[in-house]
């Protein structure tokens, strides 16, 4: 993985993207910190989400753009175009911890503008607009933590499992470009985890930890590179990290974020890092 911006000056589109993206966040899509906020190992991530929510609000975006690795698509790149999504969801893995209510308002104008533009780079997109669509857990967690009370409109897109890192990065770039051309200020949210080794047996959740020491070491290394803004070093180690730590969905949620900010960030704030039934999760804000 190499930065496509290496050696290239900022173009007009670079500037449009950087002006339109007022904040950018990486968050886990697990429901555990939301549903069990009193559990010590997960409380850190819940508090981190609340801190990120404050920062996102301070950036005053018009729209919150969410790319969730948990909304799986196969044929097309899917986008929510139903004006309002409202209901209650039970996570397929963690159903014993309770329901996830949601009330989401979609920025239908921005979404409608993005869909045809993706075809210019060979990404076929399609809107999804019908009642009772099964909204994924990751999107709901992003909405409930980062956009409480549905104060801001959202643009929500899927994770096409056949899209590569580079295609996903291009998708993020185009999203920010269209937002900029429309005069929209957007907060970008990539939803997904870090290391992907879960405990397969029942554990005492109060004693949750990262399943493997090597995963913990890798996660910390990546987070430290983000914090330092060392994008060159980050790109060099990402392939090894993704393979060795079994990173959630090949870390495409990071690809979407980096595409939206043209891979230019001076550093990052790590609001929290911790275990999610053995896997790794972190709440990160990138600074452009």
In this model, does residue 10 exceed pLDDT 50? Answer: no
In this model, does residue 9 exceed pLDDT 60? Answer: no
Which whole number is the average pLDDT over 266-288? 97
Confidence of residue 175 (pLDDT cuts 50, 70, 90): very high
Q: How far apart are the C-alpha atoms of 272 and 268, rounded to whole Å?
A: 12
DSSP state, 276? E
pLDDT in tens, 182-201: 999 999 999 999 999 999 99
Q: Do 23 and 285 touch, CB atoms closer than 8 A?
A: yes
As a whole-number percent, the residues of the chain with pLDDT over 70 amount to 94
Q: Do 264 and 204 touch, CB atoms closer than 8 A?
A: no
Distance of CA 85 to the CA centre of its chain: 19
Which domains are present in the chain? Answer: 12-287 (3.40.830.10)
Q: What is the pTM of this model?
A: 0.93
Task: Name the one residue in this structure whose structure tokens are 């590179």.
Answer: 225
Query: Distance of CA 38 to CAs 11, 33, 46, 147, 279, Å?
Result: 47, 8, 9, 21, 19
């Amino acid at each position: 993985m190499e930065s496509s911006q290496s050696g290239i000056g900022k173009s007009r589109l670079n500037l449009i993207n950087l002006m339109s993206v007022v904040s950018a966040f990486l968050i886990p899509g697990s429901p555990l910190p939301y549903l069990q906020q009193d559990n010590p190992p997960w409380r850190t991530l819940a508090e981190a989400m609340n801190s990120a929510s404050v920062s996102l609000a301070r950036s005053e975006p018009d729209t919150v753009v969410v790319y969730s690795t948990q909304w799986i698509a196969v044929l097309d790149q899917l986008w929510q175009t139903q004006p309002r999504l409202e209901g209650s969801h039970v996570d397929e893995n963690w159903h014993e911890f309770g329901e996830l209510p949601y009330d989401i308002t979609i920025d239908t104008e921005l979404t409608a503008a993005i869909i045809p533009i993706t075809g210019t780079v060979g990404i076929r997109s399609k809107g999804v607009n019908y009642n009772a669509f099964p909204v994924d857990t990751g999107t709901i967690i992003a909405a409930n933590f980062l956009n409480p009370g549905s104060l801001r409109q959202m643009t929500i897109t899927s994770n096409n499992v056949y899209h590569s890192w580079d295609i996903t990065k291009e998708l993020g770039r185009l999203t920010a470009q269209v937002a900029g051309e429309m005069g929209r200020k957007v907060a970008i949210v990539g939803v997904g985890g870090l290391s992907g080794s879960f405990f397969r047996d029942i554990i005492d959740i109060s004693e949750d930890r990262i399943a493997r020491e090597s995963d913990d070491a890798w996660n910390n290394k990546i987070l430290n590179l983000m914090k330092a803004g060392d994008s060159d070093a980050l790109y060099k180690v990402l392939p090894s990290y993704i393979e060795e730590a079994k990173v959630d969905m090949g870390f495409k949620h990071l690809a979407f974020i980096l595409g939206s900010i043209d891979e230019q960030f001076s550093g990052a704030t790590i609001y929290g890092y911790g275990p999610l039934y053995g896997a790794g999760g972190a709440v990160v804000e990138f600074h452009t």
